[in-house]
Structure 1
Amino acid sequence: MESEYKLLSGAMVTLALATATLVVVPYMQLDHVPPSPGLKPYTEQQLRGREVYIAMGCLYCHSQQPRSQSLAPDFERGWGRAPVAGDYYYDHPHLLGTSRTGPDLFNIGARQPSVDWNLGHLYEPRAYTPGSIMPSFPFMFELKDKAAPGDKVVNLPPSYAPAGKVVVAKQEALDLVAYLIGLNHTYPVDPGAQLPQLSPEQAAADGIKTAVGAKK
């Protein structure tokens, strides 16, 4: 029985140390990081599009975290600089992603700022990127005989346009594209200015706040 108590105590201590190292300390470091200069809050439409992005599972195939030039050729791929903590100030939850079945989208708004391109790409990716394995999302669009006033018609390449019909984007497609175009982090940043040095008193206060589950 004594060995079981020792095993349980050791497991609890190990879990506590891991939690402190991976959760509490990073929280204390990043809790006071301000938004990066040049970063703008999401608009109401972009926030709706972000919810569509999550619901459609886009983060399962796309990341939003280019790696440093010293670690990978992400910059040469056109994905932009490595991010800093302040770039994610308005992201709740963060959508860093863990897989790159598709390209990184941290700066897709700078690479593809065209609403028409993004809408067409959602409707039929292979019309714009031959050989793409990205699924199409036709349910986010509507086929009509004639566009109504206020409709956003998707201008597809002739070989992909439905005969005798027009493709009209639904609101969810427009919102998603607004979010994607808003992903533009090409402003300059100073990585060294992102992690402020906390005083011992502030660090202790943050540790207490974290322990009781307070949220800023």
Structure 2
Amino acid sequence: MNRVSLIALGVLATVIASLFGLVLIPNFQLESMGPRSIQQPDGSTAVYPAELDSYLEAPGREVYRDLGCVYCHSQQVRPEGFGADIERGWGARRSVPRDYVLQSPPFMGTMRTGPDLANIADRQPSQEWHYLHLYDPRITSPGSVMPSFKFLFDTTVGEAPRAPLGFPMIPLPETYVDEPTWIVPTERGRALIAYLGTLRQPFEMEEVQ
């Protein structure tokens, strides 16, 4: 057997080993993994992870994808010793595969220009905070480099508008405007905040060692 044949066999073996090690075996290990029932301290049972509702949360996930949020925010809490995520309060534990079993695709992120969002719903439970932050991040986070998304809101100056049923009506801070100004999110803005309200990894998992 000449050298070319040996090189070709080596390349083929490398490709096959990579296919099994990086694709087929992990897929086999995770294929049977799904949501699990968890007993809570008050005696009630929660299913984790929960499916997104089709009314606002799932469409909001598509808005998150459409606006490119995944390019500046990750959704993965790294374990201790591999960064300061837990020290920063971005999560109480590291993320595990079960956290993502209902996500297709999971938005793990590509970089962290902004903070990790895996537990943003617990860190910032106030919807009003999220709406103001989305409208102009400098309102809630001075010095933020995040772009504003004012196009996701209808703005009214002066008398408070009548918001559609189910849509919040939020006054802008007096320190931000010269006269009373109100914002009402569009359907896409409301859906995006609903999706952010689902981002939490609250339960201890046996996969965390």
If the TM-score is normalised by the length of the shorter chain, which range does it land in? 0.7 to 0.9
Q: Answer 1 or 2: which has greater helix percent.
A: 1
Aligned-residue sequence identity (percent) comes to 37
Please tell me whether residue 128 in structure 1 is matched to residue 140 in structure 2: yes
Please tell me whether residue 71 in structure 1 is matched to residue 79 in structure 2: no
CA drift of 1:179 comes to 0.6
Counterpart contact for 1:116–1:155, Cα < 8 Å: no
CA drift of 1:180 comes to 0.4
- Tell me the residue number matched to 2:43: none
SS across alignment from 2:170: coil
Please tell me whether residue 147 in structure 1 is matched to residue 199 in structure 2: no
Q: Which runs of 5+ in 2 are unaligned?
A: 39-45
Deviations 1:169-201 (A, max 9, x none): 1111110001101112112222169xxxxxxxx
Counterpart contact for 1:144–1:166, Cα < 8 Å: yes
Q: TM-score, normalised by structure 1?
A: 0.81
Higher relative contact order (CA 8 A, sep 6+): 1
Q: How much is the aligned-residue C-alpha RMSD, in angstroms?
A: 2.1
2:111 to 93, 99, 111: 99
Q: Answer 1 or 2: which has greater strand percent.
A: 2
SS across alignment from 1:160: coil
Residues 124 and 22 of structure 1: CA distance in aligned 2, closer, same or farther (over 3 Å) = same
Q: Which runs of 5+ in 1 are unaligned?
A: 194-216
Q: TM-score, normalised by structure 2?
A: 0.83
| Count, aligned residues | 192
Distance in structure 1 (CA, Å) of the matches to 2:163 and 2:108:
38
Alignment of 1:17-166 (within 5 A): 17-36=17-36, 37=38, 38=46, 39=48, 40-44=50-54, 45-80=56-91, 81-145=93-157, 146-150=160-164, 151-161=167-177, 163=179, 165-166=181-182
